[in-house]
Amino acid sequence: MAQADQLVLEARGVTLQYKTPQHLVTATYRVDLEVFEGDRFVILGPSGCGKSTLLKAIGGFMAPIEGDIFLRGRKVVKPGPDRMMVFQEFEQLMPWKTALGNVLFPMHATGRFKGKEARERALSVLSKVGLSKFANSYPHMLSGGMKMRVAIARAMAMEPDILLMDEPFAALDALTRRRMQEDLLELWDQLRFTVLFVTHSIEEAILVGSRILVLSPHPGRVRAELNSSYVHGQPVDDASFGLLSKRIHKLVFEGETEAAKPGVHA
C-alpha cells in the first residue's frame, strides 16, 4: 500500500501515567493516532486532558505504561532529533546563544549539518521566518513572537521526520498569535513538513490543522478525528468554519461531567 510508506507516526493504545507521592495520575488512556506525511495533525482537548503528556511520550521523554509509539515503523524509546519539539515556553531558547547560534546548535550537536552548509541552512531558515536582521541578537533582546520564530526555525532547520509543537503560540498575544498561525501555514505551503500541533483552542485547531484529533477530558481518550483541510483558506467568519467549530465544541464539552471523574486512583 502506498499509504503505509507515508505513515510517519503511529500510536497504538498509548496509556500514560504519572506517579506522584500521593497519586497515580492517568494522563491518557489507550490513545491511537496515525500521522501521515505532510499532515498538519492537531491534537485538541480541554486543559489537563493529557495533550502535553502525549507529546512528551512521542518525543521520547516518557515511556507509555501500555501501548507503543512508532516513528516510521521504528519504536520510539528515547528522545532524538528526528522529532523536533517546539514548546510553549520561551525558555526553550538558549539565552547564551544568538538566534543564529540557537538554530545552529542542534545541527552541530547532532553532527547532521556542519560548517558552511549548516550556517547557510540556518540563515536561510531564519530568513524564512522573517528574522534575517536579528540573526545576531540574543534571545533576551527579542520579543515573544520573535523568540517563538527562532524556536520554530531551529526545529525546522533540522528537517525532522515530524515537528512536535506544544501550544507554541499560547504565550503570545492574540494579534501575534494570528500572524504566527498564518506564517506557519505559509511555511507549510512552501515546505510541506509534517507537523503534530497541540492546542486547546478550537479556532486554532481549525485554522492550523488539516486533521483534528479530539481528546476527551481527563484522562485523555480519543473522542473523534475530523478533517478540516476543506476550511483551509476560508475566512474565519465563513459558515463552514462556524459549523466545524460548533461540531468540535459539542464533541469536547458534551458529557464532560461524567468523564472528568475517573483517572485519579488512590
Partner 1 sequence: MSGEGAVKSQLILRPEFDRVPVDASSVGEVVRPLSWLQRLMDNALFRRGAILAALALIWQLYALWLHNSLLFPTLTDTIGVMVHDFADGTLLQRTEASLEVLLMGYAAGVALAAVLTTLAVSTRLGDDILSTLTAIFNPLPAIALLPLALIWFGLGTPSLIFVLVHGVLWAIALNTSSGFRSVPETLRMSGRNYGLSGVRYVVTILMPAAFPSILTGLKIGWAFAWRTLIAAELVFGVSSRSGGLGWYIFEAREELNTSSVFAGLLTVIIIGLLVESVLFRAIEARTVEKWGMQR
Ligand X SMILES: Nc1ncnc2c1ncn2[C@@H]1O[C@H](COP(=O)(O)OP(=O)(O)OP(=O)(O)O)[C@@H](O)[C@H]1O
Residue ranges in contact with ligand X by CB under 6 A: 18, 20, 25, 27, 45, 47-53, 200, 218
Tell me, what amino acid is at 215? L
Phi and psi torsions of 195, nearest 5°: -135, 140
- Residue in this structure with the C-alpha cell 515546505, named with its chain if needed: 191
| Cα–Cα distance, 181 to 167 (Å, whole number) | 11
Nearer to ligand X by Cβ, of 16 and 118: the residue is 16
Q: If we measure between CA atoms, which residue out of 83, 82, 76, 43 comes closest to residue 62?
A: 76
Nearer to ligand X by Cβ, of 121 and 223: the residue is 223
Q: Hey, is 150 helix, strand or coil?
A: helix
Sign of the Cα pseudo-torsion (176, 178, 180, 182, in order): negative
| Cα–Cα distance, 227 to 43 (Å, whole number) | 12
Nearer to Mg ion by Cβ, of 6 and 52: the residue is 52
Q: Enumerate residues 71-110 that contact partner 1 by CB under 8 A.
A: 79-81, 83-85, 87, 89, 91-92, 94-96, 105-106, 109-110
Nearer to partner 1 by Cβ, of 75 and 140: the residue is 140
Q: What angle do CA 123, 96, 176 make, to 5 degrees?
A: 60
Nearest residue to the partner ligand X, using Cβ: 52
> Which one of the spans 8-16, 49-57, 99-107, 154-162 is the region binding Mg ion (CB under 5 A)?
49-57
CB 212 within 8 A of CB 228: yes
**Cβ 171 to partner 1, closest distance in Å?**
11
Which of 19, 75, 116, 140 is close enough to bind partner 1 by CB under 8 A? 140
From the centroid of its chain, how far is CA 53?
12
Alpha-carbon torsion angle 256, 49, 187, 6, nearest 10: -100
Which of 6, 52, 176, 245 is close enough to bind Mg ion by CB under 5 A? 52
Nearer to Mg ion by Cβ, of 45 and 101: the residue is 45
70 binds partner 1 (CB under 8 A): no
Q: What are the residues binding Mg ion (CB under 5 A)?
A: 52
Q: What are the residues binding partner 1 (CB under 8 A)?
A: 56, 59, 61, 79-81, 83-85, 87, 89, 91-92, 94-96, 105-106, 109-110, 138-141
